[in-house]
Amino acid sequence: MVFHNRVAFPISGRAMQVYQLVRRTRSSAESPVSDRTPGSLPRRYRHGRHVDPNGDVRLREVAGDDRSGNFAAERGGVPNDNSPTAGPEPDGRDDATLLDAYSHAVTTVVDRIGPAVVRLDVAGPQGRRGSGSGVIVSPDGLIVTNHHVVAAAMQPGAARLAVTTADGRRLGARLVGADPDTDLALARVDENVTLPAAALGDSKRLRRGQLVVAIGNPLGFESTVTAGVVSALGRSLRASSGRLVDDLIQTDAALNPGNSGGPLVASHGEVVGINTAIIQGAQGICFAIAANTVKHVLGELVRHGRVRRAWIGIAAAQTALPARLRHLAGVAQESAVMVASVEPGSPAAGVGIVAGDVVLAIDGRPVTGADDLVRSLSGERIGRDTAIEILRDGGRRTVSLVPRERPQRAAA
């Protein structure tokens, strides 16, 4: 009930809440400050069931959908245990702190890895010239870069590589080896010097969204730093040899011509990739060869001067397996590779594999395309018995052969 001129008027619960607030606001304007104690209403308005002996007005929450809690009126009273409380005021220093932490991470990486990044200049035959980036991975002057950066130096009559370090020293270098299938190359400095070196990290520990820093010499601008994140992992692209390069890192750290061969570095200061490619016309889609691949290729190039891969002597292409054939042969996979030709005297020819055979699996691992076939013939299989499952005339059979090292530019 609300009494006006001594007449009682019925009023709903929600209206009573609004009425109390209005009365309270008016009373605050009408009454002198000395007429009430802190947190209380004027004495003449201390009535009704919503006023406690201390003059505090407590109203049930009327805003929003959650009506379970109580709150104290704006003037006077302390919220009870169920009342929503305002969070801490935003600290204007938080953004500055985060920005400073980001800057600190990038500058720390640059200070640690930057001295190990070099510029490579290549003078090929017939006046062909090129340049790119590289990263020193051992103090005695081993430099990892891209194959396409130093390809001109592999031509007959090409000059040696010219290396410019971050501190401005100019050194000569020779090519130790290259692997077109992974677009990696290894060079060694000629001079007897001790150089700052970068450590190769474990690219398997990378996560999408992780901060990475690219350092290189794009378009001749030396020691350029860009930063971004790991956009994706496990990408695949075709190398210049036509082979599929697996386990590439996709990043949005800006790369330009000249960045090729430079390091992609994680925030903890280890090289997790070697920058290799961009997609022309796209923005923020760049790729780096994973550090674990780099370590494998680096070991092969140091030991053998090349990356050894197994060879069985066939040329093959992917083919679809019709449902009827899969049912009759008891095959689950929907595709495999069909042998197009067999090299005379090869391991495949020695065990009777002929054109038209369909390769289903190697050592029990399904082969669904030419890339699976190439990927399965790694250097570890050289000289080892390998089981090849084939499909011929609707029947499955398994033959055993011993792969040899693949000759240069040979088929699988």
Active-site amino acid positions: 148, 183, 260
Which residue reads 């450590």 in tokens? Answer: 199
Cβ(117)–Cβ(215) under 8 Å? yes
Taken in order 390, 391, 392, 397, the sign of the CA dihedral is positive
Q: Cβ contacts of residue 210 below 8 Å, gap of 6+?
A: 229, 230, 266, 267
The tokens describing 109, both together, are 């990486």
The tokens describing 86, both together, are 């305002």
Distance CA 374, CA 333 (A): 18
Show the 3-state SS of the chain. Answer: CEEECCEEECCCHHHHHHHHHHHHHHHHHHCCHHHCCCCCCCHHHCCCCCECCCCCEEEECCCCCCCCCEEECCCCCCCCCCCCCCCCCCCCHHHHHHHHHHHHHHHHHHHHHHHHEEEEEEECHHHCEEEEEEEEEECCCEEEECHHHHHHHHCCCCCCEEEECCCCCEEEEEEEEEECCCCEEEEEECCCCCCCCCCECCHHHCCCCCEEEEEECHHHCCCEEEEEEEEEEEEEEECCCCCEEEEEEEECCCCCCCCCCCEEEECCCCEEEEEEEECCCCCCCEEEEEHHHHHHHHHHHHHHCCCCCEECCEEEEEEECCHHHHHHHCCCCCEEEEEEEECCCCHHHHCCCCCCCEEEEECCEECCCHHHHHHHCCHHHCCCCEEEEEEECCEEEEEEECCEECCCCCCC
